[in-house]
A and B are shown apart, each in its own frame.
Chain A
């Protein structure tokens, strides 16, 4: 039976649609309102509350915790000081991506790592003789995200220290009487926070945030609105934009950090002091070049219009992310890449997609043709490569 998150007593009442999906064995609201788009606008224009409790959460601690994570994670954990968080990834020996996640460093020797998929066995099997303990606290800790331009103002009412929290900083504080960890992180590409709390205090936290939000037009939002915001934010998603190398059957189904636009995580790859899993393979890739490069795509609005119009249709502007892959071609009809996340973006006012293209097309401004199926025929619409994120308001990092 699907389990309930610690916020379920509240979310089950708020979810007027009673539409739920399963996420890590938990019921997770697809949308709370009849209009997921209205929830999306709450995030973009006010703030939204998202129950992100189903994330897997690992407490990784012990004298050697930094050394352990330094060898496991691709991004240099030594650069993450206590009170900070890092978006990070871990790879296999061949330099293929296993997963991504966020790690919060609570002290020199204490880390909280969250990820969408289970990784406990994989992590524990790599501890070896190091002094490290990993506790799977997934079922003990709840997580609530408050995302959107009004989130700081609202949370500051509950804990004044939050006002000065910088992008990817974290603090230990109290909200609604409950001890919490607040990180200025999120998956929406907006100003936003994630609040980590013991299950027993979850409802008190929810109620405190909901009360402080009163009058601001804040709404709970579900997975659909979250997925819209993450595409605009240019954030890749496991099982949509990439698959874990642990469960891929072929290398075609695997992705390297460089291919996924995460090269910026590799700044200290030449530092011999920190060997990590996949390092040698990634260095070889850096020298030899990658198969693909990640890019954003802006679909030509006029061409999109004309294509559908010529086919006798009203051009759809569907904000729901498409759950399919579309092939990209050059003008000679040769395949040059593939788009993994396609949607109509209300902020950009055109269709956008996250895609991978051949390295020579990776810089912004290249034109490609995206395949779409209209009237049971494969047809093509013009698109231009562009830098991501598609939407990045100044308040995100300010």
Chain B
């Protein structure tokens, strides 16, 4: 018999991920149960103060706003992505159409956000256009609110809904639709009753892949959101860098991670059910 070299191959990756992922996550978790230090950091004393301050109305408002934005953006993205993916999957030039969706993502994430600032900002294209056509007398601000955040999140995240949906729809056997129509279903009912149940795993993947980055988003609200449309990510950054309440920043991170994990577990359960 030979020596088993598996552990040797895996040692570097295991070491690296434990050192730079597991340990940091555990430290963060432990920080959330400690008292805040004077200039950032923590006092090594057990305390639930951070979790208590999560119940503060200001924090709850941010949490609610985050949920509203995440749910709304996810719903809109999946609703738009479903027909889009369906159209691409049924087209004879699938790859070309996929390229059309991908190309905008070849540019930097921040520049994609910036494009909307250039359009919606008070000196932006939309303002110039409305003023030059006389529809508007003075510059108004379309940015720095919840709707701008949702719009830009959709703009930057929608491919994560389109791709998984595309790949499941592409594998779907469309003769089933014809069979259903042959049996008297209208086309819409046939798609709804036959295709949707069969591409459920694509739909869950699309929901998960859009919800997680939206829920933990920080760059978009930072750049196009206002003070009354903050999301949890902004709160974490403020507590970390400005207020320097690290236990609070950690406890918000724990909440964010937990929500993500619940989503992932839910997803894995639905996937394993599908295999039965």
Chain B associates with chain A: no
Listed in ascending order, the chain A residues whose CB lies under 8 Å from chain B are: none
